[in-house]
Amino acid sequence: MNAKWSSATCTTAVTMLTAALCFSSAALTVRGDSILGSKHDLSAGGPGTIKATSEREVCTFCHTPHRAISDTPLWSHVLSSASYTPYGSTTAKAHPGQPTGSSKLCLSCHDGTVALGMVVNREQPIDMQGGTTTMPVGPSNLGRDLSDDHPVSFTYTPQLANDSGELEDPALLTEHVRLDHNDQLQCTACHDPHNDQYGKFLVVDNTASALCMTCHKKYFWETSTHRTSPAAWNGIGIDPWPRSDRTSVQANGCENCHTPHDAGTGPRLIRFADEETTCFVCHNGHVAEKDIQTEFDKLSIHPIEATAGIHDPTEDLVGGTRHVECVDCHNPHASNNTTASAPNASGRLAGVTGVTSSGAPAFPLVREYELCYRCHGDANNGAPARVDRQFPETNTSDEFNPANASYHPVEASGKNQDVPSMISPWSKSSLMYCTDCHNNDQGPGAGGTGPKGPHGSRFAPILERELTLVDHQPEGTSAYALCYKCHSRDSILGDKSFSKHKLHVSEEGAACTTCHDSHGVAGVTHLINFNPTYVSPSDSGRLEYIDNGRFAGACYLKCHGENHDPEEYGP
């Protein structure tokens, strides 16, 4: 049998209700699972600040045995005539309209438009203490805009659950979470107005989002960090859970990021209007171990605060507006601590949609670079480059194409099988992550204790270590620290692979990037892609590098006033 009110249950409830109306609050024993002693006890003897001046009966504010507005459940309180703005989002499969059933009854007080004492079983409205008339402004006053509240008054069917893919079949709902007699989800699916034993009149204890998970079955949730983390607030800064008495990430579950009422962002009921603020409340070093928030104060960042309200889970990954938010890179329902080896994505990127090397959407992504290609691949080809190039290319997926003459081994092992400068454990068969170069300058990859990831760095463009991009700067372990992370400085300056490395880099002050393109070059070996700011065609009009075999080649160009027409070198 579907878990909802039967006619027999209703009859029993009405009989008990009618009897209860004969008693005042003073005559009844206070119980945790009773309306007595709860905020719904609006009688003069009630415990809250909102209560009557002299009325002693408890049930009369909602029910009456005679002259009821509706026969179920013998409703007494005058209904609101307000028109409401219902919840809606691009990901919602249900499309609620105006409130019906018990939700309309609840809103007769909770929309703030009808006096709390306006009942049909009294000749005059019941006077309330302190001059209160309607529901005061606050969390209990939902107003007429329900777009920032959990949707109600929609028919919850097996087809709806199937279409969503992340909703429980209504036939499997618990005895506590019930639909109404029209199979609609109402306020009473989550709230029992007569029972406050779990707080907020919830029908079950919502620790670890037990109530939420009765209906919502989010992909990947069971193994996610937000589902399992015991992290607690250290008491510094903003309270991350001001509406909850639970003290850990695990215990708060969904409510770390969402709130069922008065949400900052209507669609998906996010707690704050700015997506990143919702994340920063915990990821500021006061709940989560690492302080992510301050990373975005650095010189070079992923600009998550530059746009607002653009990200959408259903957005076009190929033709959409270029932007970045925390949830573009991290799925809060899925992210976990699982490690991986290049090119596979770690658990931090679990459940995220990416773009493959061929430009097709991938859900969930498998390789880390598929996340980067969402913004730095086909979808946003044409973003400005940091260094001018003889062969300009801003589509990173094209730069790492294994069909190229040369590339850093992000998608596939490199083609150059003879790289004497390689530092162990790197080898000719190694694969690497984009984040081996683009990462936090104070993270573990740089020898620091800060958080991992390309959130921000003092070295542009979000580089883990310094890399000088202009000529005429002193060579040193700092200036080219990023290159020297994987390539031995002694080997480079010892001219092991190119007989004039030391001359160019150390003596003439040419930057590594003046000759080499860090990502890849379609038609030239050894990542040669000259920077025309410093390198121009030779006197004969040629600007070209010729590969003449192992450690040998020729250059046709003019650089720093020197005409190479050609300049040849060998092993």
Structural domain boundaries in the chain: 385-521
End-to-end Cα distance, the chain: 83
Among residues 438, 416, 440, 412, the alpha carbon closest in space to that of 428 is found at 416
Q: Which amino acid is at 495?
A: D
Give the pLDDT confidence score for residue 21 in this predicted structure.
Answer: 42
Distance CA 368, CA 341 (A): 10
3-state secondary structure of 344: strand
- State yes or no: cis peptide before 343, omega within 30 of 0: yes
The pTM (predicted TM-score) of the whole model is: 0.90
**Weakly modelled stretches of the chain, pLDDT under 50:** 1-23, 25-28
Among residues 184, 150, 448, the alpha carbon closest in space to that of 291 is found at 448
Q: Which amino acid is at 53?
A: T
Give the pLDDT confidence score for residue 379 in this predicted structure.
Answer: 64
Q: Encoding tokens for residue 120?
A: 């049909």
Distance CA 279, CA 257 (A): 7
Per-residue buried b or exposed e for 311-325, using 16+ beta carbons within 10 Å of the residue's own CB: beeeeebeebeebbb
3-state secondary structure of 554: strand
Give the pLDDT confidence score for residue 31 in this predicted structure.
Answer: 57
Q: Which amino acid is at 423?
A: I
Contact 114, 78 (CB under 8 A): yes
